[in-house]
Amino acid sequence: MNNFFDGRGGAAGGGGPIQWFHSLPPVTRLWLGSTLTVSALANFEILQWTDLDLTHLTDVFGKVGGGNSNISSSSLFGRLEVWRLLTCFLYIGKFGWNSIINLHLMTQISARYETMGPICTRRILVPQNPQLQRNNQNNSPYYLKGETSDYVFALLFGMTGILLSQFYLLPYILSPSSHTFHHHYRFFHRHLTFYTLYIWSKRYPQHNVNLFGVIMKAAYLPYAYLVMEYALSNGEVIPIDMVHGMFVGHLYYYLACVVPTVLGRSKVVIWTPGILIDVCRWLEGRRPYNDLGGGEPIVVDTDGVIGG
């Protein structure tokens, strides 16, 4: 089949923003397009933002009583609102300067991470070809180079971790009466952005970045944003969404990179499901994972990094 993720065909004859949009890597392009679409529909009141938020996981069974998360028998059996699990990550709020900054950061970081090569969590299956075994000398349960499916899996892991920790961990850590607890609890766009920023900074800690004219290593970038946000609030509000996203990002990095390194390739905690690999490769017009004897290392182009 044709490459579903290939944006070059749609850019023919186009220019400016359209050409730039189609030049983005596939997952980043889909993430940005979905965020703009959902946010625009809500800002123009085609959709109500109260139909997009998630105050508790029970909201997927339908809200009753003007936004309360109580469940009635009719909503439980007649109105599932599963889309909230996704739209709560896609709405950025009212269009304005803050939303532009958040979209810019999301796009830059996601494009960098995807283009430079995400952390690979495609598990090495029992090799049928002895040459594959000899080529893998890093004692890792994963292949060396990440691809689209690995990034999609990382985002799914982050979304799941953010929601579970938001509703089942943070209430035991933060006081429910505090302003910090209520500051970001309906939408999680920035949570996911800083989750991605954190795992990118851990994946490429020595990469040089320019933050408002200050050159620093990527390893320090999440903390620089954290300090800036805290300073802009005059030290009154802890940016819990940033901290939360970084926390889940650290959990992902620990399970994907630290555990296999310390315990060896026989200890695998998380891995990209084969069905997800096959779907992503099918959309890209590539051979399925199983047709490659467990998959071969994929070389990811590291040139032309956006915002390098």
Check residue 293 and give its pLDDT: 44
Check residue 268 and give its pLDDT: 86
pLDDT above 80 (res 137)? no
Check residue 155 and give its pLDDT: 98
CA 38/CA 47 separation, integer angstroms: 8
Give the list of residues 6+ apart from residue 170 with CB closer than 8 angstroms, or none: 181, 240, 244
Confidence grade of residue 290 (pLDDT, cut at 50, 70, 90): low
Check residue 94 and give its pLDDT: 93
Instruction: Render pLDDT for 20-41 as a digit per residue (tens, 0 to 9).
Output: 999 999 999 999 999 999 999 9
Check residue 224 and give its pLDDT: 96
Q: Are 294 and 128 in contact (CB under 8 A)?
A: yes
Q: Is residue 176 within a helix (H) or strand (E), and if so which, with residue range? A: none
* Tokens describing residue 306: 């956006």
Instruction: Render pLDDT for 156-188 as a digit per residue (tens, 0 to 9).
Output: 999 999 999 998 888 777 765 555 554 556 899
Q: What is the DSSP string of 117-165?
A: -PPP--BPP--SSHHHHHH--S--SB-SS--HHHHHHHHHHHHHHHHHH
Instruction: Render pLDDT for 186-223 as a digit per residue (tens, 0 to 9).
Output: 899 999 999 999 999 999 999 999 998 899 999 999 99
Q: Are 210 and 305 in contact (CB under 8 A)?
A: no
Instruction: Render pLDDT for 249-271 as a digit per residue (tens, 0 to 9).
Output: 999 999 999 998 888 766 789 99
Check residue 77 and give its pLDDT: 42
Name which of 77-86, 97-106, 119-128, 139-148 the model is least confident about: 119-128
CA 81/CA 83 separation, integer angstroms: 5
Half-sphere exposure of 144 (CA within 13 A, CB side): 12
